A and B are shown apart, each in its own frame.
Chain A
């Protein structure tokens, strides 16, 4: 391991320090008037805006609807993407059939599809959920395909000589062995879900955090734009934290997350 060791407290202290540093730079820029408040309001203005947003009931509703969309969209992507990823990872023919298409779509930015999605599915919940699912699905599928390929040959061969058939090798060896990695793939692809969510809500929407961002921009409420972005960031951090916690609870036998070499 190249990374040097730190204890948990040191890690948390450094993490907080980086946020504090950012805050100080921000505060300095605004208090010396380097950027006009219209473009970049001071931290205290933004704090006030966050407080105001939450004290009006509407914003909490918007956060709620966003959470609903992201959960459903993410769930759909996982239910479809994980089995397909496992299939690609284990079967050459399936790989040849599916992977080139996935690669093609993966490199075409999802925003390019939005006009088409709106044409096909309207601007209701269905379209939002499809944008989120599509943002996650095509990334996740390849990550999962990669993750299942790490099962050591000796573990598979041991199972074969213990009498396991091909299906049992997949369901009782490769799948349980790869589960922690797949779970961590979910954590990483959650980031794509957030990106898809905001995208879906900025284009043709009347609710959600993304809508608050675009609406505040139209009304020239820069502090509200920044507040909403900060809320997205905090929710993202929170989901990441939940994934990491669950990882420890679900897979007590697995190596720590950063012991996995991720390329």
Chain B
């Protein structure tokens, strides 16, 4: 579904020098895969996601999505950012409806889709609230619902739970795992949290320091549905330790 072929990306710094963020990455993502990309902070993970989204162009190589070269942002590839990117002037339900209104869906259709996603993200009580008046975890659920309501073919997530506290984070991971198990969707998930990656993904990709290269790939075979308790199992812990060790050297 998504082929990343030898992409690299460098940025020109204000002083004129070049900084290489991504160096020669190739990756295949298949339909309904849940891929997590893990790497040290500032290694260029976000750049990879923005390249897939079409928000940035690669300096070398190419990205092919469903046999078409990615040249710009598209609603086929929805993104959820780390920081709350909800539209502050719109209520929760209008946030979710944003993409649908751009497509000029009928009022009835918008209503049906919005109430469906309000329900699965458990936000019905807050549908008329402004994002500023709900918690961080809820704001991220709004962002997820807004992206899902638009029915993208692939869901890109850039450390979506990175700014949440531990408890909320854990609950959101379980929420996302369940959501994915019920609505199979292709997901590329960026995180610096190895535990989060193992818990959520079928495939974990470990990146090196900047410029980011692929260091290793792991297939995660834990059964689904995955629940919070999985994190306390011995296999989970061993895998985490193995990846952590690979990360260091």
Q: A172 vs B89: C-alpha distance in the bound complex, in angstroms?
A: 10
Q: Are B85 and A162 in contact, with the CB atoms below 8 A?
A: no
Evaluate contact between A163 and B74: CB separation under 8 angstroms: yes
Once bound together, how far apart are the Cα atoms of A47 and B124, in whole Å?
59
**Contact assessment for B75 and A163 in the assembled complex, using a CB-CB cutoff below 8 Å:** yes
- Docked complex: A211-258 residues within 8 A CB-CB of B: 251-255
Secondary structure at the A interface, as helix, strand, loop or mixed, is helix
Give the chain B neighbours of A252 by CB distance below 8 A.
130
How far apart are A155's CB and chain B's nearest CB, in angstroms?
Answer: 5
- Does A102 count as interface, using CB distance less than 8 angstroms? no
A176 to B85, CA, bound (A): 14
Interface range, A side: 20 to 34
Q: Find residues 167-217 in chain A having any chain B CB closer than 8 Å to their own CB.
A: 168, 172-173, 176-177, 179
Q: Is A103 an interface residue (CB 8 A)?
A: no
Residue-wise, chain B 59-92 has the 8 Å CB interface mask toward A (1 for contact) of 0000000000000011101110101010111100
A157-B73, A157-B79, A158-B79 known; A164-B102 Cβ under 8 A: yes
Tell me, rounded to whole Å, the shortest Cβ–Cβ distance linking B99 to chain A: 4
- Flag whether B173 is at the interface (Cβ < 8 A): no
Q: Is the CB of B102 within 8 A of A163?
A: yes
Given A158-B79, A160-B73, A162-B98, are A177 and B85 also a contact pair (CB < 8 Å)? Answer: no
Question: B224 at the A/B interface (Cβ < 8 Å)?
Answer: no
* B93 in the interface (beta carbon within 8 A): no
Complex Cα distance A181/B77, Å?
A: 32
B146 CB-CB contact with A under 8 Å: yes
**Interface size range on B against A:** 20 to 34
Cβ of B171 to closest chain A Cβ, rounded Å: 23
Contacts of B143 in A (CB 8 A): 158
A161 contacts B79, C-beta separation under 8 Å:
yes
Least Cβ–Cβ distance between B97 and chain A, in angstroms: 10
Residue A152 is within 8 A (CB to CB) of chain B in the complex: yes
B87→A161 contact, CB < 8 A: no
Instruction: With both chains docked as a complex, state the minimum distance between the C-beta of A223 and any C-beta of chain B, in angstroms.
Output: 49
State whether B73 touches A155 (Cβ < 8 A).
no
Task: Kindly state the separation between the CA atoms of A46 and B74 in the bound complex, as whole angstroms.
Answer: 68
Complex: how many Å from CA A252 to CA B79? 28
**From residue 70 to 128 of chain A, which have CB atoms closer than 8 A to chain B?**
none
List which B114-143 residues lie within 8 A (CB) of chain A: 130-132, 143
Instruction: Provide the residues of chain B in CB contact with A168, threshold 8 Å.
Output: 102
Pick the residue among A163, A177, A253 that contacts B132 (CB under 8 A).
Answer: A253
Closest Cβ of chain A to B138, distance in Å, is 15
The 10 closest A-B pairs by CB, nearest first: A163-B75, A162-B99, A160-B73, A253-B130, A154-B85, A158-B85, A161-B79, A176-B89, A154-B81, A163-B102
Q: Enumerate 12 A-B pairs (CB-CB under 8 Å) in ascending A order.
A: A152-B85, A154-B81, A154-B83, A157-B81, A158-B87, A158-B143, A160-B55, A161-B75, A162-B75, A163-B150, A253-B88, A253-B131
List 20 additional contacts besides A154-B81, A163-B150; criterion CB under 8 Å.
A152-B85, A155-B87, A157-B50, A157-B55, A158-B79, A158-B87, A158-B143, A159-B98, A160-B73, A161-B78, A161-B147, A162-B98, A162-B102, A162-B147, A163-B74, A173-B87, A176-B87, A253-B89, A253-B130, A254-B89
